[in-house]
Amino acid sequence: MRKMINMINIYPIPTSCPYCSSSVVFTSNAAIYGKEYGNGRCYKCTSCDAYVGVHTGTDIPLGRLANRELRELKKKCHALFDPIWKLNQNIKREQAYGRLANVLGIPHAECHFGWFDKEMLHKALEILQQPSWHKGISWR
């Protein structure tokens, strides 16, 4: 099922859980939600609550396996980040991610909340809580 899709950066397929060291399976996301949502597939730890969805039509993970704490941090980041590009006609999503990458000091191709570990999500949150973090910063 490993299909290459243009414009999708590939995060490695998880095989063991970073939280409990148990094995990880590629399965229906009904195992998490009780019924299938979205594309219906995910990687899920066989022992704890860690999981990650996949890009539609592929087995490519959207990011790293995440436990509840990491998922909550990602939600907080998105809650602050998404309005910047969704409600602002002067900045596109790619530009917002580029600006955030520059402030974080990381390559643009690695600036995905789904890829961030706990430490990087906390750094991103600190930045995103500044009202004008995205102004006056190059996105390239």
Helix (H, G, I), strand (E, B) or coil at 77: helix
Dihedral angle sign, alpha carbons of residues 28, 48, 45, 118: positive
Whole-model pTM: value is 0.86
For residue 51, which of 77, 97, 20, 81 has the smallest C-alpha distance? 20
The per-residue pLDDT for range 62-95, each reduced to its tens digit, is 999 999 999 999 999 999 999 999 998 889 999 9
Let me know if 4 is exposed, middle or buried by CB neighbors in 10 A (0-12, 13-18, 19+). Answer: exposed
Q: Which two tokens stand for residue 85?
A: 């590009």
pLDDT at position 2 is 42
pLDDT at position 6 is 47
Query: What confidence category does residue 8 fall into, taking pLDDT thresholds of 50, 70 and 90?
Result: low
